[in-house]
């Protein structure tokens, strides 16, 4: 039986805390990352939470299952017509049903409509299914860095980028 999640497109009080807690809980359990990883997620959330978000060029998707936080995805303005795809994570029971592909498609459509020229994201190599989704959406792996990170002896940090082309109306 496929779970039916609810998807919100606006922030509510507590959503940023839920994003951080969700990343800590799921990635801690699945990949053994520590509080340094949680701090990394907290820092990215704090940069956005400290200003009006989302603006007209940005977006948030909060996924809930039976009223509880079960996933998220955001598009953030990084300046210079660049955006970041952030906080891409779903509970295991929501994976494999096309939700990630659909929401990535929505956020990339928003990025195109908003006039961004580049969308980037950061991840790590063990998230193979997510990397497959990113590549299918047109993202290219730009750089990797293998080092001790987030309580792990070795983790391969990755940066993906997607250059957007725009049709200028005459």
pLDDT exceeds cutoff 50 at 168: no
Give SS3 for 41.
Answer: helix
For residue 169, is it within any domain? no
Question: Residue 158 falls within a domain, yes or no?
Answer: yes
Task: Using the CB atoms, write b or e for 34-65: b if 16+ within 10 Å.
Answer: eeebbebbbebbeebeeeebbeebbbbbbbeb
User: Has residue 157 been placed in a domain?
Assistant: yes
Residue 91 lies in a domain: yes
Whether 119 maps to a domain, the answer reads yes
Domain of residue 134, CATH code: 3.40.630.30
Position 168 in a domain? no
Span 92-149, pLDDT tens digits: 999 888 999 999 999 999 999 999 999 999 888 878 888 999 999 999 999 887 765 5
Considering the domain boundaries, does residue 170 fall inside one? no
Does 154 score more than 60 pLDDT?
no
Mean pLDDT, residues 10-20 taken together:
96
Spatial strand order in the sheet of 6-8: 6-8, 59-65, 68-79, 82-90, 118-124, 152-163, 140-149
Confidence of residue 151 (pLDDT cuts 50, 70, 90): low
Interatomic CA distance for residues 161 and 118, integer angstroms: 7
Total of domains in the chain: 1
Distance separating alpha carbons of residues 160 and 166, to the nearest angstrom: 20
0.85 exceeded by pTM: yes
Q: Which domain holds residue 39?
A: 6-163
Q: Are 85 and 130 in contact (CB under 8 A)?
A: no
């Amino acid at each position: 039986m496929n779970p039916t999640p609810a998807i919100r497109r606006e922030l509510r009080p507590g959503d940023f805390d839920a994003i951080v807690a969700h990343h800590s809980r799921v990635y801690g359990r699945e990949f053994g990352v520590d509080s340094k990883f949680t701090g990394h997620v907290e820092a990215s959330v704090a940069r956005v939470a400290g200003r009006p978000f989302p603006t007209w060029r940005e977006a948030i998707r909060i996924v809930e299952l039976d009223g509880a936080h079960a996933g998220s995805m955001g598009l953030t303005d990084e300046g210079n017509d660049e955006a970041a795809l952030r906080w891409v994570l779903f509970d295991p029971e929501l994976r494999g049903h096309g939700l990630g592909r659909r929401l990535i498609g929505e956020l990339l459509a928003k990025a195109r409509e908003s006039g961004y020229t580049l969308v980037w994201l950061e991840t790590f190599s063990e998230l193979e299914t997510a990397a497959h989704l990113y590549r299918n959406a047109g993202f290219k792996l730009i750089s990797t860095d293998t080092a001790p990170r987030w309580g792990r002896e070795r983790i391969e940090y990755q940066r993906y980028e997607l250059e957007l082309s725009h049709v200028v109306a005459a």
